[in-house]
């Protein structure tokens, strides 16, 4: 487990700290921003001292206190990984990726930690367009996609007005601009819809369990699930959820065996 990329302590205390403060968002603040920052610094020191339990408790305290950022989830994932909790490490990395999808260290660590999952799932080979959309969906978050859609719409609208009412020559240039930004708009739209459909119901298995044919503990076992595997939640019934694995297999598992990736 030593090849995971750790930001050096000074970098944690300077670069990551600055990033943390810039990204820090509240959804229902239960602690003050000053306390959240203080706990973040204390958690970073605890991680440096290899006191991973303390680091995890402090990072979770910040999140449960109503604050979140990509840096918190990234460091929380590192702490879980150092403890050997593969499921919650991947869960935290996936949550971090919702906020900082293009972070190279994060994506490296996520790929690396996935290599420790207890089994490999054979993923169907999708068509080129689907793979392209899936790849882009992992590179950009919803805020960026929404911004690009707004910009595209504004550029299209202005270009349309200029091309329609202006007496300028070379109006074909504006038609080309409209076509280009229309393509960008619809591409961002489809990627956003894909993210809402896939990521909105995405969960990570946090402990080894059996997926069963029916939502009962005495039902026949269909297949096994290992910590770190990502599944799509199809529906929930009582204390059970029907899930679909990446290879298409479906089964029922107890709700305490997985956690949704959705942020607050």
Query: Of 114, 138, 155, which residue is a domain's last?
Result: 114
Q: What is the total count of domains within the chain?
A: 3
Q: Is residue 120 part of a domain?
A: no
Residue 1 lies in a domain: no
Same domain? For 214 and 194 the reply is no
* 89 occurs within a structural domain: yes
Residues 193 and 206 grouped into a single domain:
no
> Are 39 and 86 within one domain?
yes
Residues in Cβ contact with 84 at an 8 Å cutoff, skipping those fewer than 6 apart:
1
Residue 256 CB neighbour total at 10 angstroms: 10
Same domain, 54 and 110: yes
Q: Are residues 80 and 16 in the same domain?
A: yes
| pLDDT tens by residue, 205-244 | 999 999 999 999 999 999 999 999 999 999 999 899 999 9
93/47 same-domain check? yes
Domain boundary among the residues 84, 114, 144 is at 114
CA distances to 9, 10, 36 from 28, rounded to whole Å, are 30, 31, 13
Among 57, 80, 114, give the residue marking a domain's end. 114
For the entire predicted model, the pTM comes to: 0.77
Q: How confident is the model at residue 56 (pLDDT cuts 50, 70, 90)?
A: very high
Q: Is 253 exposed, middle or buried (0-12, 13-18, 19+ CB in 10 A)?
A: buried
Classify residue 90 by burial, with Cβ atoms within 10 Å: 0-12, 13-18, 19+.
buried
Our measurement of the distance from residue 220's CA atom to the centroid of its chain's CA atoms, rounded to an integer in Å, reads: 33
In a domain, 122, yes or no: no
Q: Per residue in 122-174, pLDDT tens?
A: 766 666 777 777 777 777 878 888 899 999 999 998 888 887 877 766 777 88
Task: Give the domain range for residue 237.
Answer: 202-260
CATH number at residue 93: 1.25.40.10
262 pLDDT more than 70: yes
CA distance 81 to 45: 17
- Do 29 and 110 fall into the same domain? yes
Same-domain check for residues 195 and 207:
no
Question: pLDDT tens digits for 68-78?
Answer: 888 999 999 99
Question: Does the residue 121 lie in any domain?
Answer: no
Residue 190: count of CB within 10 angstroms of its CB: 15
Shared domain for 87 and 138, answered yes or no, is no
With cut-offs at 50, 70 and 90, classify the pLDDT of residue 88: very high
């Amino acid at each position: 487990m030593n090849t995971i990329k750790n930001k050096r302590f000074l970098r944690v205390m300077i670069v990551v700290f600055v990033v943390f403060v810039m990204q820090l968002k509240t959804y229902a603040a239960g602690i003050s921003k000053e306390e959240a920052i203080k706990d973040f610094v204390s958690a970073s020191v605890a991680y440096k001292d290899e006191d991973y339990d303390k680091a995890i408790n402090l990072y979770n305290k910040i999140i449960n206190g109503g604050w979140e950022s990509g840096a918190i989830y990234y460091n929380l994932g590192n702490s879980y990984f150092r403890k050997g909790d593969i499921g919650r490490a991947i869960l935290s990395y996936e949550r971090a990726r919702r906020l900082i999808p293009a972070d190279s260290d994060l994506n490296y660590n996520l790929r690396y930690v996935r290599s420790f999952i207890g089994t490999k799932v054979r993923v169907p080979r999708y068509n080129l367009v689907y793979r392209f959309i899936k790849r882009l969906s992992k590179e950009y978050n919803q805020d960026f996609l929404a911004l690009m859609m707004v910009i595209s719409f504004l550029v299209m609208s202005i270009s349309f007005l200029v091309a329609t009412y202006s007496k300028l020559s070379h109006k074909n240039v504006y038609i080309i601009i409209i076509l280009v930004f229309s393509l960008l708009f619809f591409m961002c739209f489809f990627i956003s819809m894909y993210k809402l459909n896939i990521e909105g119901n995405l969960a990570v298995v946090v402990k080894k369990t059996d997926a069963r044919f029916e939502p009962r503990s005495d039902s026949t076992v269909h297949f096994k699930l290992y910590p770190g595997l990502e599944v799509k939640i199809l529906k929930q019934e009582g204390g059970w959820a029907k899930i679909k694995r990446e290879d298409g297999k479906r089964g029922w598992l107890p709700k305490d065996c997985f956690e949704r990736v959705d942020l607050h």
